[in-house]
Amino acid sequence: MDKKRVSVFVAGQRFTILTDEDEKYVIDIAAKIDARISSLTISQNMTRERAAVLTALDFADDNEQDKRAIAEIKEQIKDYITEISKLSEENTALNAENNQLKREIAALKETQNLNAAALQDAQNTKAGDEKEKEALKAQIRALKEQMELVHVESTPAPVEEAPAPEKEEVTAEDDLFFGTPAEPEIKPAKEKKNRHDHSHVNPYRQQFMQKKNEQKGYTQQRQYSLFDKDE
């Protein structure tokens, strides 16, 4: 860039400055220096040369202070850059850890979904097994009922035995009427008498006739005829 000449007035004198800076910038700097010198000359009753030296010292001091401030700012910027770099590394590590956690969470979710699906399948299988078990139980009950029906149909009905007739006790009196063999009754020997003798009384005959008349109601005539035959 070509340098250019800029004319300025400081402390009542004209100066030509060769610079590559902007003309307005140079004129503004010269105006500030001139104002400072004029202020010192009026307030301190100094000569222009002495006021110009003090102004130069002030500007030099300001320049050094600015340089120190800039240096401090640069150091701070360096510290900031170092801290930012450290934070960036930590952020990178955190991002890597975060990504790892995301992958682990995704894997856990996948495992959870698989476990949920497996649990659902197990529950469905269990429900199916329970239904199949109940169906088998129902089939077993039906088969048992069929077997019981077949058993009942094939089992002959018990034949009720007719009650045995009561055995009537056969007495000596019944033997006389029905001809049932019974042990012969031993009677004492009778003396032969005239059958037309009505004075003869048979004690056995009277006793037998009395019982028969009471129990079976046979007529006296029938009883006499039977005993007549026996005699």
pLDDT tens for each residue of 165-191 = 555 554 555 444 444 444 555 555 555
Dist. CA 186–CA 70, nearest whole Å: 172
Task: For residues 217 and 207, give the distance between their C-alpha atoms in angstroms, rounded to a whole number.
Answer: 14
- In order, the DSSP letters of 116-181 are HHHHHHHHHHHHHHHHHHHHHHHHHHHHHHHHHHHHHHHSPPPPPPPPPPP-PPP-HHHHHHH---
Q: What is the DSSP letter of 182?
A: -
- Amino acid 195 reads R
Helix (H, G, I), strand (E, B), or coil: what is residue 16?
strand
At CB < 8 A and 24+ separation, what contacts does 138-145 make? none
Tell me whether residue 221 is exposed, middle or buried, using C-beta atoms within 10 angstroms of its C-beta: 0 to 12, 13 to 18, 19 or more. exposed
The pLDDT value recorded for residue 231 is 46
* % pLDDT > 70, the chain: 69
Residue type, 141: R
Side chain identity at 75, as an amino acid letter? E
Q: What is the 3-state secondary structure (H, E, C) of 187-207?
A: CCCCCCCCCCCCCCCCHHHHH
Query: What gap in Å lies between CA 95 and CA 101, rounded to an integer?
Result: 10
Residue 173: CA count within 13 A, CB half-sphere? 15
Grade residue 3 by pLDDT with cuts at 50, 70 and 90: confident
- pLDDT-based confidence at 136, cuts 50/70/90? confident
Mean pLDDT of 93-111: 91
